[in-house]
Structure 1
C-alpha cells in the first residue's frame, strides 16, 4: 500500500519549513518509527518518521526545498520489501527484524546508533518503559562499537599529524598551515534568531540594570534538603533555577509592568506569569515556557525545567511549548559568564540574566567576609518600564534569594 509522507502540521506562527536532511533515499528499506527526514522551521527542527515497515518509494521534496504545513514530501511503500529491489534484501544483515521489533528507541537514538554502528539490542534504555534515548546511545561503550572505532584508525592516523591543533582543517583534509575558510548557509533557526535580535535593537528602548546577590542562604538550604527533596519528589533535583523562578513570579506580581507587553499603542497587562527559561542547544537558543508558573510548586518548576532541557537537547520540543511567555530567565553562569546584558525576547518587556557564582570579599557589618556572590542583570524596555521599577524588581529578587523564607511567605 502506498502512503503519502507529509510535513507536520505547523502552528499559525510558523509559515513554512525547509528540508534539512533526508536520512533515507528512494528505494531504501526502513522500519516503523525510523527517522526519514529533518524539517527545520524558524523555531525547531521537526523529525518525520516512517509510518510502518516498508521502503521510501519516491522523494518529492529534496534537501533545501521549502515545504508548507501538511504538504506531501514523499511517498512510502508499506511492506517488508519491494519486489525486484536489491536494497531491502540487505536490511536483515544490519540487525534481525525480530530483535529490532522488541526494541523501543527514539528516532534520534536510532539515527545515532546507525551512525556509530551500535547494536541497539545491547543498549540499556533509561527512558520511560525502557525506551532508548539519544543519551543512552551516546554514552554506550559496548564491544559492538569497538570494531567500528578501530577500523578507520589506519586511515585517520596521518590527519592529526598533518593538522595538529586545527580540528576544522582536519575535517576538511587541509594541510597544516593553510588558511581555512568554510562557507555554509545560515540555518533557518539561526536566521530567525538574528532577525528577532536585530528587531529588538531597532524597535525597543532597551536598558540593563545590575545588582548582586549573596547565594549563601540558598546554597545552605539546598545542601540541607537536596537529598530529601529528591527522595520525596521522585528524583527531581533541587537546583538554583527553581528559586529564581519562584522569586520572579512574586516580583512580577508586585511590579506588573515588568510582566506586561506593548501591542501597538496599548500596554497589555498579563494576569498570569508564564516564565520562559532560555536553553542553549547545538542549533541555537530556544526558550520553552513554564505556563502558569504562579501555580507551580518548587518541585514542579524544577521538574519542568529538567524535562525541557532534555527534550531541547534531543530536538523534541514542540513549537507550542516555545510560544508565548510573559517574562524570561537566562542563566549564562552555567557557561562561566560573570556578567552580561541579556537581550529582550519580544514581545516581552524584560529578561533576567543569572551569572556565575563566585566567591568575593564583601563588607558585612564592618567585617570582610568571603561570600558566594552572583551578579544579576535585568534588561528591560524603557518604553514601558521606568528605571525605578526595574531597580525595585531586582531588589525584590535579591531580597527573596538572600532570605528564601520570603518566597514561601510571599513577603
Structure 2
C-alpha cells in the first residue's frame, strides 16, 4: 500500500484536506493514528465492561476489523471499527438466559448477526440500497434505532443507584455524569469530543477516593500476554441458541444505518461520491463482526467519534487508521490493560450510560428529523408509538424454544404497523 505524500508532509493549511490516498509524514501520521485510538477507546472499552466480554479480545478484534475494513474498501474509506452499543441489550438477554458467566451464547448471536450483515452487504453491492429503504423507511429505521438504545434504560438504573454491595454508586455516577456534561460544554475540538472517556476518568478518580476500586487484579496481571479469547456456542449441540436470534438480528438494522451514514458523511466532507463503496463497507463490518463472534470479541461498527476527529483535523488519510488498528492490536496483548478496565465500578458505568444510552435513542430521532418524517400522518405516529412502547417496556413472547424480546418485537411491530397501515391507506384511495 502506497500513499501519496501531501505537500511537504508537515503542514495542512486551513483550506486544505488530506485525502484518503494521501498521508503526512510518518511521525505526524502516527500522531493522528494515536488520536483515533484515544477517540475510539472510551466507547470501545465500555461495551466489554458492561457486558462482561474480555476487553483484550475486544481490542484485538477491533484492530483486526479496522484493518480488514480498509483492505475491503480498497483504502478509499477511512474508518475505525469499534464496539457497537447496539449489541449490548441482546448480549445481556443472552447472558440472563444461560449459565452465569457464560458468554458463548452471546458470541453465537454476534456471529449470526455478522453473517447476515455480510450477506446484506453482498446483496447491496449487486442491487443498491433501494430495497432497504422500501422495507424500512425512515420512520421505521428511526424507531428501531431509538428503541435499541432506550431498551437499556433499566440497566442504567441498576448501575446508577446505590445498593449494599456498592453503597457509593449514586454520588460516583453523578460526578461522572456531571464531568461529561461540563467537559462537553466547556471545551471545543478534540477535548470536547472526548468528553465520555474523560468523564469516565474523572468518575474513576472519584471512585478511588470513595474506596470503590479494587486494584489487586491489576497488580497481579502480566504486562504482556494473549487476549482472552473464547469460542461461540454450538447451536447444533444446544438448539436453544437458535432462540437468541430474534433478539440479535434486528441489530443489523442499526449497523446498516450507522455504516450508510458513515459513508455519506465522509463523502460530504471530502466532496466525493462514496456511495458505490456502501456494499463493501457493509461486507467489511459484517466480516469483522463474524471474526469477533468466533473469538469472543464484541460486534463492531463504524465510529462517529472518529469522524469527529477527521472533521476537526481535516486529515482523512487511511494511513492514520492503519496506525490506529496496529495500536489497538498491540494494546490487546496486555492483560494489565484488560484488568485495569475491569476495575471500573458500577457507579462510573451508571453515570456514563445514563447519557450514552439516551444518545443512542436520540440517533433514531435524528433519523426522523434528517429525513423530514411527518408525524401529522397517523401511519407514522402509530409506527413509532407502538414500536417504542414495546421496545422500552421490553415485551417478551415465547414461541416454542424461541424467545422474542422487546428489541425483536419492537422491530417487527414497526415494520408490520407501517406496511399494514400504508397498504390499507392505498387500497382506500
Larger Rg: 1
- Which of the pair has the greater relative contact order for Cα pairs under 8 Å at 6+ separation? 2
Shorter chain as denominator, the TM-score bin is: under 0.3
TM-score (norm 2): 0.22
Higher strand share: 1
